[in-house]
Structures are given as structure tokens and as C-alpha cells.
A and B are shown apart, each in its own frame.
Chain A
């Protein structure tokens, strides 16, 4: 077990390095001179030269990459070309709205997805089952930004029940969380349904029923517990979608999170901020995936990695 975890952690290191290389490489391709952007419009050639030297842009590319990695590890990411504040500050203040959004969307998706999936599986071919399957098909096909705008139109503009923008209060979190969580709810519901249907056919469930266990006990204790593994897999796969989805959701609801920071910084050509924010989200994704992997080993006693 410990060896398995250690192995996974060791494997994550080259992946993080690879990701950092891609992020660094991609953003190195940006046309134009970063030093000119940082220097501003009324800088002299000498100013630009000084800034280029200060940023290390006059060094070979691989030295720049190594220096950037070193700074990344110390979370010393330089200053934003636009706000002039440290990038670490820009990111730190944006983490919370994004974490709240992704976390509540995930919670919602797991809770609603499991309830919908179990109901559909235990009431196979009923109206519930039909509604759940149509809902799942729509959920995965809906443009997330369209859903967000529709919810905003209904609940903020027409009904005036919930605020349409901003972050901080629970009321401001409801619509974005619903928007971001919808597609994942659909996918989780579908997976829960098929995993449950598979387990519900097993002989030991007939045994449980025969010995007089209540329907609830049969479904939850005997069936659901054995359907958990495929469910964890699909939840794990949703994490990347949820982290990516924050970009669109935060833009729709003007939520000051990391996703919105990335979009704004791309528009203002603030390369350092884009690079750092993309890196932070990617590392989060890798770490969470690692946690899901380790969780498997705990959940499924059949998995023994040697």
C-alpha cells in the first residue's frame, strides 16, 4: 500500500515537470517582447533593456525555464505587468472563489448524481428512469455558458431571487455551482445507474433479499457499496472538467476567481499571470488525481499493487 502510494507520488513528479515544460513552452511562443509589455508605452530602449535583463529574458531559453521552475517552487512568480502587484498575491486572492465554486459544484454533482442514478436503477423503466436518462443526455450536451446565462436570466433578471454576479456570499454561489455542476451531475448519474444495475443482478443481492433485509438495506448496504469503485472513477474524471469549467462559469457570473483571472490576463497580454495561474490549476488537478488514485486502494480491498 505505502509502496503503491510512493510509486504514484514519484510518477506525479515527472508529470508535473512535463506539464510545466508545456506551459512554459506554449507561453514562450507568444509573439512580441514581454519586456516591452512590462515596460509600458513610454519606456525608452534602455528601460526595456534593463527590464529584459531583470526578467532574465536575455538568457538562453533553458536557463529561463530553470529559473522559472526555481521561482515557481518558491512561489516567487514576479509581478503582474498590468496591476504591478506580485503574481502570488493576484493568485492567492483568487483561489477562494474558484475553490468554493469547484468544490460546491462537485458536492452537488455527487449528491444529485448518486440520488438520480440510484433512483433510476432501482426503478428501471419507470418515469424516473426516463427523466434521468433524458436529463443526463441534455446535461452533457449543454453549453455551460448558455446554461449559466439561462439561469441568470430566470433567477436574477426575471424572478430577482439570486444575485447574478460577484463572489463571497452563499447566494452568489448557488447559480454558478448549479451551472458548473450540471454536466457532471448528468455523467455521474449515468455511471451510478449502470454500476447499480450491474450489481443489482448479482446473486448475493437475491440472498440478501431472501433473508428478509429491507429494500433500503439491500440497495444501500449491499448494492451501493459495491458500485462505489466505478463511481469514484467517474468522479475523478470530472475533476478536470470542473477545474476547466470554472473559466467559463466565472466569466458568465463575473466571479473573481482564477479562471476569470486567466481570461482577463490573456486579453491584457499579462503572460506571467497566465503562466502561473494555468500552472496552479494544473498542479491542483494532478494532486487531486493522485488523491483519487490513493483513495481507490483504500476503497477496494481487491486492489493490491505490488
Chain B
């Protein structure tokens, strides 16, 4: 049974309004441009990088920037620019995968907790409380201590430690949406709990979760590079921004660019995630609209 709903004129749909609102946030648009560029460069790493990230040249180690090597070379004579481009691929991949895991499992747990209530709610949220009672970075460090340092384990560690905020937000929003007429209607029509949660609740609580995911990416990239900097994340010789700084540290007096440049890149990308997150919040959450 289909009910004819008069279509809103183009430009007045909530999506169009959100896009317009986002476009007015200049910092957010700039941030989005930076992110698009970073992802494009990472994706095109094989085409863009002037050298192989692992081609070493022991006769030209820690060389200053030159025409052949715009950002110089590292302690093994590898081209820093090429490692930076390939490193972005790894850093962004690990960050994105970790947040994706947290987004999916955190939202699912939160929706179930909020929709079912009762024992499921208590059990899920108490576990989230306990996870939140551990200082975040420390939890990631402890997980790495157990699993061993590797790219996959960094994704797991940061994925797990980012679950609670998604679960909390999803639960809170579900509690509101659960009482909406369209959910009651679906229930009356005999839709299964799973179908209601997936098709009626989840799409309607997406906005705050997307905002959280964007801001989480900023935190996650700092954690990813931080773990690698400690030697607990992506392992050499794999290029990764934090790992590059970890080694560059030993040459900080003679070749400061080995530390300065990857750090600046992390700073710019993190800033971009934060700005896009702020812009999305203004665009999607009416309460935050200035």
C-alpha cells in the first residue's frame, strides 16, 4: 500500500538545505577540499610518487631537499616525498578502517540497546561504561601489547576503543525515534524488530552518527600515528606518517624535515577532519545552527 506524498520542490529537501548550510561554512569547505586532495593523492600513490617508497640509496642518506628529492631523503636514502605519499595511503586506510569498524559495531549496539531496552540495554551500556573508564589511548596501547604491533591490530585496537561514543549516541537517538509514529506504524504492520531497527530507526539517527564519525577520524588519525611513533603501530619499512617521525626523531638536529614534514601533514589532515566535522554538525544538527 503506497501513500502518495507530495514531493518537496527541489532545493527545499532537508538534504539540499544541509548542503547549502555546509557550503556556507567556509572552513568546512576548505577542510573537505584538503581531504579530497589527501585521498586522491593516496589513491594515486603509484602514479604520483617519483620513487619507490622502499628504494634505498646508501650513498645519499639524510640528504637535504634538492631538485631530485624535493623533501630530501631519509636515513636509508629513501625519497621522503614518495614515502609521504605512500604513507598517507597507509595512515588514512588504517584510520578509516578503524572508524568504520567502530561506526558499524557501535551504532548496531546502540540501536539494539535503545530499541530493546531492558537487560540488553543494561548489559551493552555497562560494558560501554567500563570501556570508557579506561583512558582511550591507554586502551589502544594495551590491546596492541596483547595482539602485537601490526597494521591490522592497530585497526582493531582503535576500532574497539572508538565503539563507546557511537553506541551512546545511537542509543540516545534511538530512544527518541522509537516513539515516532512511523516506527509505531511499522510495528503495527507487523514488521520484525530487526527490520524496524535497520530500515526505520537507523536511517533516521544517521546524522549525529556521521558527525561523530568525522570528528572521530580526527582523533583516530592522531592515535594511529601516535601508536606508530611509539613503535607499537605500523612497522618499518612500511611507510606511515607516525612511523616516519619515529625514525626521523634520531636525526632531528641534522635533518629536521624528517620530523617536521610528516607532522605538519598529520596536523593539516586532522584539522581538515575537525573542520568538516564542525561543518557537518552545523548543517545536520538544527540545535547547533548558529
Contact = CB atoms under 8 A, between A and B. Distances in A.
Interface residues of B, number: 46
B129 interface: yes
B95 interface: no
Contacts of B252: 149, 152-153, 157
B229 A145 contact: yes
Interface in B132-166: 133-139, 141-148
Interface in B226-275: 226, 229-232, 242, 245, 249, 252-253, 256, 259-260, 263-264, 266-267, 270-271, 273-275
B152 to A, nearest CB: 15
B222 interface: yes
Contacts of A150: 260, 263
Contact of A26 (B135, B146, B222, B273): B146
Contacts of A132: none
B17 interface: no
Contact of B225 (A143, A243, A266, A271): A143
**Consensus secondary structure, chain B interface:** helix
Given A149-B263, A153-B252, A286-B133, A278 B225 contact: no
Contacts of B253: 153, 157
A157 B251 CA distance: 12
Contacts of B266: 143, 146
B63 interface: no
Nearest to A20: B130
A150 B266 CA distance: 14
A119 interface: no
Interface stretch (A34-42, A206-214, A245-253): A245-253
Given A18-B133, A22-B131, A29-B146, A149 B274 contact: no
A247 B145 contact: no
Nearest to B272: A141
A26 B137 contact: no
B137 A143 contact: no
Contacts of A219: none
Interface string B102-142: 00000000000000000000000011011101111111011
Contacts of B242: 143, 145
Contacts of B145: 26-27, 30, 262, 266, 271, 274
Given A144-B226, A281-B135, A247 B146 contact: no
A115 interface: no
B169 interface: no
Contacts of B126: 14, 18
A30 B267 CA distance: 33
Given A143-B226, A149-B249, A274 B142 contact: yes
Contacts of A226: none
Contact of B267 (A27, A142, A245): A142
Contacts of A50: none
A147 to B, nearest CB: 8
Contact of A140 (B141, B143, B249, B274): B274
B146 A244 contact: no
Interface string A235-271: 0000011011101100100000000001100110001
Given A28-B146, A31-B148, A243-B135, 6 more contacts: A18-B126, A26-B145, A141-B271, A143-B229, A240-B135, A262-B138
Interface of B: 27, 126-127, 129-131, 133-139, 141-148, 218, 222, 225-226, 229-232, 242, 245, 249, 252-253, 256, 259-260, 263-264, 266-267, 270-271, 273-275
13 contacts: A26-B143, A137-B271, A141-B267, A145-B242, A241-B136, A241-B137, A244-B135, A244-B137, A248-B226, A251-B230, A263-B231, A266-B141, A266-B145
Interface of A: 14-16, 18-19, 22-23, 26-31, 137-138, 140-146, 149-150, 152-153, 157, 240-241, 243-245, 247-248, 251, 262-263, 266-267, 271, 274, 278, 281-282, 285-286, 289
